[in-house]
Each structure stands twice: as structure tokens, then as C-alpha cells.
Amino acid sequence: MAGMASDESGSLFRDLAVETAESWRTMAPLGRAILGAGVIGVVVLNVLERTAIPSTLLSVLRVLAIVAVVIGCVANARAADEFYQRIYLYACTYTLVASMLILYALAEFGVNLGVRSISLVAGIFAVSFVVAFAVLRRG
């Protein structure tokens, strides 16, 4: 797809789903496997209690799962068309600015999220991705 502007259905989330599915199809199978394993790993490993698996092993697996998600997202951005790459770029830019401001403000008020700051950044990225898609699909 060259861009969503001419293919818009009128539904933001339908258009986002269509474009996301298309970008998924253009990814190499290895990239899809890495991203899928990373997402599943993050979800499963964050549900497990530290008593279920030795603490060090669980930490290593959680770090590897996040690394797999990042590698998969980079692979997805590289395989996608120019429109979707711009969405990634805008979403990363919005995320950097918002995360920096929010984490700094929280630290100034004595709130230390620790490792949960990663969840905050990931959440901001998800929102930024949808916002970037909405802005760019019209332009």
C-alpha cells in the first residue's frame, strides 16, 4: 500500500487493522516469529511469580522477551511501506518526548516506577502509534 489516504474506510481502527495486517504480511517469517515470541513471552513471563521460576532465570527471560519485541518491531518497520514507516517514526518521536516529560515529572515528585517505567513507555508508544496513524492517514 502506498498510503491510507486514498484507501480510507472512515473507521480509524478498521484502517489501522488493515494496514497492520498488511505490514505483518510483508515481514519476513523470522521477523514475525521473533515478534510473536517476544509478545507472548512478555505476557506469560510477567504473569509468573518469581517463586515459580528462579529469580535470575525469570529476569533473563523477561529481558530476552523485551529484546525480541524490539527486534520484531524494527523488522516490522523495515518491512513496511513508507506510510507505515512514517507512523513508526512519528510514534517514536511522540513517545520520546512524552516519556521523558512524564518520567521526569514523576521523579521530581518522588515517584519511582522502576522497571514499570518500561510499561509506561510501551503504553505511550501504543497511544502514539494510533495518534500518528490518525494524523498521517489524513495527510
Per-residue pLDDT tens over the stretch 77-101:
888 788 888 999 999 999 999 999 9
Q: State the Cα–Cα distance between residues 132 and 87, nearest whole angstrom.
A: 5
Q: Is residue 72 within 8 Å of residue 36, measured between CB atoms?
A: yes
| Number of Cα atoms under 13 Å in the Cβ half of residue 62 | 18
Measured between alpha carbons, how far is residue 95 from residues 6, 11, 42 in Å? 27, 24, 20
pTM of the predicted protein model: 0.75
User: Which helix (H) or strand (E) is 92 found in, with range?
Assistant: helix 82-108
Contacts of 115 (CB under 8 A, 6+ apart): none
In this predicted structure, what is the pLDDT of residue 139?
65
Q: Is residue 38 within 8 Å of residue 65, measured between CB atoms?
A: yes
What is the tally of helices (H) and strands (E) in the chain?
5, 0
% pLDDT > 90, the chain: 53
Assigned C-alpha cell, 63: 529481558
AA letter at 23: S
Q: How confident is the model at residue 1 (pLDDT cuts 50, 70, 90)?
A: very low
% pLDDT > 70, the chain: 93
